[in-house]
C-alpha cells in the first residue's frame, strides 16, 4: 500500500483553526488568507480520505475522524517543531523567570516545561506559582520576565489580554449548600483578589445574604471547602476538580457573574526581550489559548497576534494582526 505523506503546513492550519475556534484567527496567526487555509483543509481531507468537519448550527464541529486527527496532528507538529528548534543551532542560553497563577500551574506548566526544555536545554527556567496580584508586582519590578495571570479592567502596560473567561459558582456535585432561608456560605480568596471582589459585589448587588466560612490564599483550600460541601466558591472551569461542578446560576437562585481576563504580562526590563523569553512567551500563549477555549472563553485579537514580546506601552512589536469576520467558528 502506498504511504501518504501528510502536509505539515495543512496540519498546522487545521490545529490552529480548531484551537483558536476560528479559521479567520488561524489565517491571521499563520499569515495566510482564509481562502488559502480552506484549500489546505480540503487537501488534508483528500489526503486522509475522511471528512473532518460537519455543520453545527452556524459553525462547524469536528467529526470523529477530525477528533482523532487533531490528537495525532498536535503530536506531529510538536515533534516537528522540537526537532527544528533543537537542530537549528540557535544556542539559546540563560534564564527565563516566569510566574503562573495557581489555576494554570497544574494544567499549563507540565506541557510547556517539557516542550521548552527539550527544544532549549541550555535555558534554565525559574517558575513561581502565586496569586495574580503578587505576580503583577514581581513583573513590574523585574523579578519576573513573564506571568500568566487573571486581570480585570483595561490591559495594563506590558500586558496582552488573551481571552475573557466566564466565572461560575462552583460547588460539590452531591452536596450543594444553597438555601433561600440562610445566608449563602462561601469560600473566598483573601484580599486583594479580583474574584473575591467580583463574588461579593454580585451577592451584595443582588441583595443575597452571605457568610464567609473559609478564607485562604490557596486555591486548593477553596476547592477543598467546596468539595466538602461547606461552601460555594467562584472560579472559572480551568483546573476544576472532578468532585466539583459548575452551578446554573438561574436554577440555584444565584446572581450572574461576569468574565475574567486571562493575560500574559511581560516585564519592560531588558531580560524580557531575549530570544529565549520570546520563545517561551509563544508557548505560554498557545497553552493559555487552549485552556481558555476549553473553559468556554472568548479569545481576544491579541491571542492570534504573531508578536511575542512587549514594549513599555503594552503594544506588541508587530502590530497589525486583525480578526476578520468568519462563518467557520468552531463551537467551544
The pLDDT score that the predictor gives to residue 1 is 64
**Helix or strand holding residue 101 (H, E):** strand 94-101
Q: Within a domain: residue 332?
A: no
**Residues 108, 248 within the same domain:** no
The pLDDT score that the predictor gives to residue 35 is 86
Q: At what angle do helices 102-119 and 219-227 cross, to 10 degrees?
A: 130
Q: How many independent structural domains does the chain possess?
A: 3
**Residues 158, 266 within the same domain:** yes
| Residue 289 · residue 299 · CB < 8 Å | yes
**Residues 22, 132 within the same domain:** no
What is the tens place of the pLDDT at every residue in 134-159?
A: 999 999 888 999 999 998 877 677 78
What is the tens place of the pLDDT at every residue in 67-116?
A: 999 989 988 988 887 777 667 655 677 889 999 998 887 777 888 888 88
**Residues 178, 243 within the same domain:** yes
User: Given pLDDT bands bounded at 50, 70 and 90, which one contains residue 311?
Assistant: very low
Q: Please give the grid coordinates belonging to residue 302.
A: 491579541
**Residues 147, 100 within the same domain:** yes
**Residues 245, 175 within the same domain:** yes
| Residue 135 · residue 166 · CB < 8 Å | no
Q: Within a domain: residue 318?
A: no
**Residues 177, 215 within the same domain:** yes
**Residues 48, 160 within the same domain:** no
The CB density around residue 46, as the number of other CB atoms within 10 Å, is 11
What is the tens place of the pLDDT at every residue in 17-69?
A: 887 777 888 888 788 888 888 888 999 999 999 999 888 777 788 899 999 99
Q: Within a domain: residue 299?
A: yes
φ, ψ (nearest 5 deg) of residue 161: -75, 120
- Phi-psi region for residue 229, left (φ > 0), alpha (ψ -120 to 50) or beta? left
Instruction: Assign residue 119 the CATH number of its domain.
Output: 3.40.190.10
**Residues 273, 210 within the same domain:** no
**Residues 239, 279 within the same domain:** no
| Residue 119 · residue 86 · CB < 8 Å | yes
Q: At what angle do helices 23-30 and 8-20 cross, to 10 degrees?
A: 130
Which residues constitute the domain of residue 160? 90-165+260-304
| Residue 101 · residue 131 · CB < 8 Å | yes
Specify the range with the lowest mean pLDDT, choosing from 169-183, 270-284, 317-331.
317-331
φ, ψ (nearest 5 deg) of residue 37: -65, -40
Tell me the CA distances in angstroms from 263 to 39, 102, 300, one per residue in order: 33, 14, 10
The pLDDT score that the predictor gives to residue 323 is 26
**Residues 107, 214 within the same domain:** no
Greater pLDDT, 189 or 295? 189
What is the tens place of the pLDDT at every residue in 191-213?
A: 989 999 999 999 999 999 999 99
Q: Within a domain: residue 317?
A: no
Is 0.75 surpassed by the pTM of this model?
no
Amino acid at each position: 500500500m502506498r504511504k501518504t505523506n501528510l502536509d505539515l503546513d495543512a496540519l498546522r492550519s487545521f490545529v490552529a483553526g480548531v484551537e483558536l475556534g476560528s479559521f479567520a484567527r488561524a489565517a491571521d496567526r499563520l499569515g495566510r488568507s482564509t481562502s488559502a487555509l480552506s484549500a489546505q483543509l480540503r487537501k488534508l481531507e483528500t489526503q486522509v480520505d475522511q471528512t473532518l468537519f460537519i455543520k453545527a448550527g452556524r459553525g462547524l464541529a469536528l467529526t470523529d475522524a477530525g477528533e482523532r486527527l487533531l490528537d495525532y496532528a498536535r503530536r506531529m507538529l510538536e515533534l516537528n517543531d522540537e526537532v527544528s528548534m533543537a537542530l537549528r543551532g540557535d544556542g539559546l542560553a540563560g534564564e527565563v523567570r516566569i510566574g503562573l497563577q495557581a489555576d494554570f500551574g497544574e494544567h499549563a506548566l507540565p506541557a510547556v516545561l517539557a516542550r521548552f526544555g527539550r527544544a532549549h536545554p541550555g535555558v534554565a527556567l525559574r517558575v513561581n506559582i502565586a496569586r495574580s496580584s503578587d505576580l503583577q508586582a514581581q513583573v513590574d519590578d523585574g523579578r519576573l520576565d513573564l506571568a500568566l495571570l487573571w486581570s480585570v479592567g483595561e490591559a495594563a502596560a506590558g500586558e496582552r489580554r488573551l481571552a475573557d473567561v466566564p466565572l461560575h459558582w462552583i460547588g460539590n456535585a452531591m452536596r450543594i449548600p444553597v438555601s433561600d432561608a440562610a445566608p449563602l456560605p462561601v469560600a473566598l480568596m483573601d484580599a486583594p483578589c479580583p474574584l473575591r471582589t467580583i463574588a461579593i459585589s454580585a451577592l451584595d448587588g443582588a441583595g443575597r445574604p452571605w457568610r464567609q466560612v473559609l478564607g485562604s490564599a490557596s486555591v486548593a483550600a477553596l476547592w477543598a471547602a467546596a468539595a466538602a460541601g461547606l461552601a460555594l466558591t467562584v472560579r472559572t472551569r480551568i483546573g476544576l476538580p472532578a468532585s466539583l461542578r459548575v452551578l446554573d446560576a438561574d436554577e440555584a437562585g444565584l446572581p450572574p457573574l461576569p468574565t475574567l481576563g486571562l493575560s500574559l504580562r511581560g516585564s519592560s526590563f531588558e531580560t524580557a526581550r531575549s530570544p529565549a523569553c520570546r520563545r517561551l512567551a509563544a508557548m505560554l500563549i498557545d497553552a493559555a489559548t487552549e485552556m481558555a477555549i476549553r473553559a468556554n472563553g472568548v479569545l481576544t485579537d491579541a491571542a492570534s497576534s504573531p508578536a511575542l514580546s512587549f514594549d513599555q506601552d503594552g503594544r506588541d512589536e508587530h502590530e497589525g494582526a486583525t480578526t476578520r469576520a468568519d462563518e467557520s467558528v468552531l463551537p467551544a
